[in-house]
Amino acid sequence: MNKKFMQRLSVALLLVISSYAYSQGLLKYNPPKTGSPMTLAGGGTRSFGAKIPIKILAPRHTGLTSKSQPVLYWYSSLPKPQKLLLTITKEGDDQPALQVHLDNEPAQGLHSVRLVDYRFFLLEGSVYRWSVAVDDEEQNAGEAISNQTYVTLRYSFPSIPIDSLEELAAAGYWYDVLQELIETHSPQLDDWLAEAGIVVPIWE
């Protein structure tokens, strides 16, 4: 059996598992075997708290997206509007592939960036590190805000068609599932985030 056939067989088995999860009203997530190390998100603790005001919504391992221009999400508990800096760096590169200055972002709540708005594409198979930080020299240099936050993601186009949210979860596409749950205001969002160790009051 060749490698491509084995990959398709693995995905097919995951889809069978997802059909059972769907019948139970669950989203069964299967983390991808990327070989990448655990990543740091929110200083290593994922629960909502004052010490870490920016929580990236992502798993601790390298998450998958089936889109070359995914939507990236984070939750802010900053006490007032701030200038933020989004940075995306391709693994192995010294310089960022994209840096976006976000002026006067609202304070507490859910935030997102659509890469399509910046005409930025991820390269298939490549791993990227992305982060969100307070874009203020005085704040970053001082002790007012602890903001060491980054995660990694990889764009991987599915080898076979995937037609449902349950199939996306079973195939390991964490970012795609997150976007769908947020855009549809799904009650499953809290459970999806909690499985990744993320606890934030998004719908409050």
Higher model confidence: residue 81 or residue 29?
A: 29
User: Could you tell me if residue 201 is inside a domain?
Assistant: no
Read off the pLDDT band of 177 (50, 70, 90).
very high
Contacts (Cβ under 8 Å, ≥6 apart) of 190: 202, 203
Q: Are 119 and 127 in contact (CB under 8 A)?
A: no
CATH of the domain at 95: 2.60.40.10
pLDDT digits (tens, 9 = 90+) for 61-84: 999 999 999 999 999 888 787 888
Q: Which of 27-36, 42-51, 116-125 has the lowest mean pLDDT?
A: 42-51
State yes or no: pLDDT of 138 exceeds 60. no
Average of pLDDT values for 129-148? 60
79 to 46, 82, 109, 156: CA distances (angstroms): 19, 9, 11, 37
Q: Are 120 and 37 in contact (CB under 8 A)?
A: no
- Residue for token pair 């805000």: 145
Read off the pLDDT band of 20 (50, 70, 90).
very low
User: Could you tell me if residue 202 is inside a domain?
Assistant: no
Higher model confidence: residue 191 or residue 105?
A: 191
Closest to 153 (Cα-Cα) out of 53, 54, 66:
66
pLDDT value, residue 3: 53
Average of pLDDT values for 14-24? 42
What distance in Å separates the CA atoms of residue 166 and residue 36, rounded to the nearest whole number?
Answer: 24
State yes or no: pLDDT of 42 exceeds 50. no
117 to 23, 72, 114, 120, 145: CA distances (angstroms): 37, 12, 6, 8, 29
User: Could you tell me if residue 190 is inside a domain?
Assistant: yes
Domain hosting residue 86, numbered range: 3-195
Task: Return the CA Rg of the chain.
Answer: 17
- Domain tally for the chain? 1
H or E segment to which residue 89 belongs: strand 82-90
Q: What pairing do the DSSP bridges indicate for beta strands 127-134 and 98-105? A: unpaired
- Tell whether pTM > 0.85: no
pLDDT value, residue 103: 82
**For the chain, what percent of residues have pLDDT higher than 90?**
47
H or E segment to which residue 104 belongs: strand 98-105
**What's the gap between Cα 157 and its chain centre?**
16
User: Could you tell me if residue 94 is inside a domain?
Assistant: yes
State yes or no: pLDDT of 45 exceeds 50. no
User: Could you tell me if residue 20 is inside a domain?
Assistant: yes
